[in-house]
Structure formats: C-alpha cells, structure tokens
Amino acid sequence: MKPVNIGLLGLGTVGSATVDLLLANAGDISDRIGRPVRVTHAAVRDPSKPRNCDLTGVEMVSDPSELVSHPDIDIVVELMGGTDLALQLCTQAVNAGKHLVTANKALIAEHGNELFAAAQASGVVVAYEAAVAGGIPIIKAIREGLAGNRINSVAGIINGTGNFILSEMRDKGRPFDDVLREAQELGYAEADPTFDVEGIDAAHKLTILASIAFGIPLNFPAVFTEGIGNLTAEDVSNAEKLGYRIKHLGIAEQTPQGVSLRVHPTLIPQSQLIANVHGVMNAVQVQSDAVGESLYYGAGAGGGPTGSAVVADILDIARALASAADQRMPSLGFLPERLKNLPLLAIEAIESAYYLRMQAADQPGVMAEVTGILGGLGISIEAIEQTEPAQHDTQATIIMLTHRVIEKQMVEALQQIEALETIEGAVTMIRVEHFNTRQSS
C-alpha cells in the first residue's frame, strides 16, 4: 500500500526521537497499520545544522509554509512549540486538508476550540496525545478507555519540574531557590522557570484533561493557578509529620454546582498512591462512576516518552485515513455540538480542607481567639499543634488542619485572624485533598 508521508515542523529533542522511533520500529508499525510510515520532509530554521537522527531521504526545508501545503504530505507533525506561528501553520495545514499531530499543550489549551473547528470543516483529524504527560497515554485512557464512565474528577502531577523540586525539598530539607537552581543545571527547568513553577504549564494540560473528561469546551483562562515559589521547607516538613505530602496538583472536579479547574500546592495523605510519585515523574488520578479510582503513571517529558505519544497519534490517524470523517473520534471525545457549557466555579466557591500555619504571640488566650474566629464561620478543626518558641523568642508557631469548608469562608477567617494583634504577618494556607474518600457527585 501507499506509504503514509509525514512532514515535521521542528526537529529538536522530540522530533529527533520521533524519527528514530519510526525507523527503529518500522516493521512493527507497518504490521500494525498495513502500510509503511515515513518522514519525507522536515522544516527547521537551519537545514544545514547536524541532527541527532537518521535523515536519509528526508527533504529539509527552511520555509514551514512550504511543508504544510506540500501535496505529498499526509500528516503534519508540529513540534516547534510556541503559539503564534504554530497556530498559523497548524491552521494552514488543516485548511489544506492535512491531518495534524501536535505535542503543543499551549496551542491546544489556548486555541484548540478554533483549531478543532477548522479541522472538522476540512474533514481532518487533530491528535494531541503528546501534549499532556509525555509518554502516559492519558488522553486515550480518558477519552476512549473510560468512555463508558461519568468522570467525576481528574487530579494530576503533570509537571515534572515542580515535582522534582518538591521531592528534593522533602527528602533533603532544601530551600526552594536552591533546588530550582539545581533543576535548571540538570535541564529540568528552563532559564525562565515561570511556566513550570507558577503552574502555567500544568494549567494548559489541565484545561485539556478537563475538556475530554467532562465534555466542555477548552477554557484555559478559567483555571485558577497558584505556584510553588512561596512554599518553605518548614511547610514540607510539617506536612510530612502530619502524615501528608505536598504536591503541585492540577485538579478538575465536576460537582452539582459546576466545574472547578485549579492548579495549586496540595497536601495529600502519604497513603495515597499519587503522593508517592517522586522526582520528575508524572501521574494522573481519575475518579469515575464505574471504575472508581484509577492511576496512570510514567515519564511526563523527554524525547523518547513524548516521541512515543507522537508516533501513537500518527498510527491512529493512519488507520483512520480510509474512514469517513464523521466516523472518526471527535477531537475532545464528545460530538462538537454536544459539548456542554457547564458553570465554571471561581476558586472562592470550591470546597477543600486546609493546612494553616501562623506565627502567634506566646501568651494566654491566643489559641482561643483563633479557634473562636474559625468556629464562628463554621470551620471545624481536625488537628492542631503549637510549637514552643525558642529561648528569648516571643513568637510560637501554630499549625492547624481543618475539615472541608467553602474557600470563601476560609478567606474571611484568615482576614480576621491576620487582623489580630497577637498574629504576626500573613497566615500560610495550603489546600488539603483526600481523593479516595470523596463521594461521587
């Protein structure tokens, strides 16, 4: 049969790994889909630059517009990153009738709705497994494997850089800035680590997971995002002593009131599997009505894992080439006209338990003042500890765990507590989740 011809936009780490994987497993790939797959073109800034893959038979071009409209290319694979030029080229490709594979989470999260609409109008497929969690096939798991379930929540460690930092802070008691510098030296974090440590990267991925889980349009601006830069080794240590671990989670939850989309540091009981995902690894926990809790774990980045997801998407499209457009998997797993505009909850409306740490004057009556404020707003306390001040120190540290409460009530309580003359500075607040004890909504 006629080979499936691939055009690559970008030939960096993931692009090179994709080429290598297609060559190394060419026999198995052909056996799976009944025809060979070959990379025929690659668009790069400098075609003369040496590459870390075998480019025999690959035509190198410097003009990506030439590639996306080339008549011999069946599937365009976008691995260049960014959003502006990537969106322009990907739109051009689908308008030219090319199927599209991308690993670009920002592109899908921010512009996926329009890109999917353009693809539907042209009768082509946009596949994006590699955009979320690298080598973990989480898109397929939710969109296809759990298609018979109602998904109640998705919670994930979906940024390896942040997870590496928190793992090092816990294991070695190191401060955030020190571990971040090491992450940059090791290549886990960029020179500008904002996307990773502030949760923007995770928010892009969570936007995609929520849409395929709940059947809602992509809505990146609706994701509440809080980074890990303000976490201290003290909080990480306190969590451990209380039987918890702090993870930077992306959480999408469907409740009777609406959908919450949030990325923030979270205390999780040490007994839960997702709390034991360390280093740069990723994991996504899904709660659904029929299956219950399921956890998907693996490498979330890197050439091999991400290239694996890219190749899997290429093969899915290759199998679908002979099928009618209306018989193919919808981009988000739901028919486009059946997507639901569910209410999206502000962070003040979510319900969570909380970890609180505050510095208080070491004098009688302080604890009664604090607990009185919490009780007056209907916030019950699960655990409370007070550390004795060091010699000649007049400040004691109070640590509390609360039961679940609407966040608006907690914010009001903290405003009142911080206004007390006996409380110094701001109160540290970190949300607490117990996923496997939650009731299906």
Q: What's the CATH code of the domain at 400? A: 3.30.70.260
CA distances from 272 to 82, 231, 233, 433, 436 (A): 35, 21, 21, 11, 8
With H, G, I as helix, E, B as strand and everything else as coil, classify residue 255.
strand
Residue 180's Cα: distance from chain center in Å? 19
Last residue of a domain, one of 285, 317, 338: 338
Catalytic residue among 98, 140, 205, 247: 205
- 289, 145: one domain: yes
Whether 344 is covered by a domain: the verdict is: no
Residue 324 pLDDT grade (very low, low, confident, very high; cuts 50, 70, 90): confident
Q: Let me know if residue 195 belongs to a domain.
A: yes
111 falls within a domain: yes
Which CATH number fits the domain that encloses residue 57?
3.40.50.720
Q: For the residues 200-221, what does the mean pLDDT come to?
A: 98
Mean pLDDT of the region 58-80: 95
Count of domains for the chain: 3
| DSSP strands (E only) in 2-64 | 4-9, 37-43, 59-61
Q: Do both 291 and 142 map to the same domain?
A: yes
Q: Is 438 contained in some domain? A: no
Residues 161 and 261 in one domain: yes
Q: Are residues 295 and 404 in the same domain?
A: no
User: Are residue 263 and residue 391 in the same domain, yes or no?
Assistant: no
What is the C-alpha separation between 379 and 42, in angstroms, rounded? 59
Do the strands 395-402 and 37-43 form a parallel or antiparallel pair, or are they unpaired? unpaired
In a domain, residue 264? The reply is yes
Q: Which two tokens stand for residue 140?
A: 């397929």
Residues 121 and 146 both lie in one domain: no
Residue where a domain stops, chosen among 316, 338, 360: 338
Same domain for 35 and 88, yes or no, is yes
Q: What is the CATH number of the domain that holds 233?
A: 3.30.360.10
pLDDT at 439 exceeding the cut of 60: no
How high is the pLDDT of residue 87?
97
- Claim to verify: residue 398 and residue 317 sit in the same structural domain: no
Of the pLDDT bands very low, low, confident and very high (cuts 50, 70, 90), residue 322 is confident
Same domain, 158 and 191: yes
Q: How confident is the model over 61-71, as a mean pLDDT?
A: 94
pTM to 2 decimal places: 0.95
pLDDT at 440 over 70: no
Q: In a 3-state reduction of DSSP, which class is residue 6?
A: strand
User: Does residue 343 lie in a domain region?
Assistant: no
Average pLDDT, the chain: 94
Q: Which domain holds residue 168?
A: 138-299
Is 205 known to be catalytic? yes
pLDDT at residue 390 tops 80 = no
**Are 219 and 368 part of one and the same domain?**
no
Whether residue 257 is contained in a domain is answered as yes
pLDDT digits (tens, 9 = 90+) for 226-252: 999 999 999 999 999 999 999 999 999
Q: Give yes or no: residues 289 and 321 share one domain.
A: no
Q: Which value, in Å, is the radius of gyration of the alpha carbons in the chain? A: 24
Query: Is residue 12 located within the same domain as residue 81?
Result: yes
| Domain-embedded: residue 345 | no
Burial of 427 (0-12, 13-18, 19+ CB in 10 A): buried
CA nearest neighbour of 266 among 329, 194, 350: 350
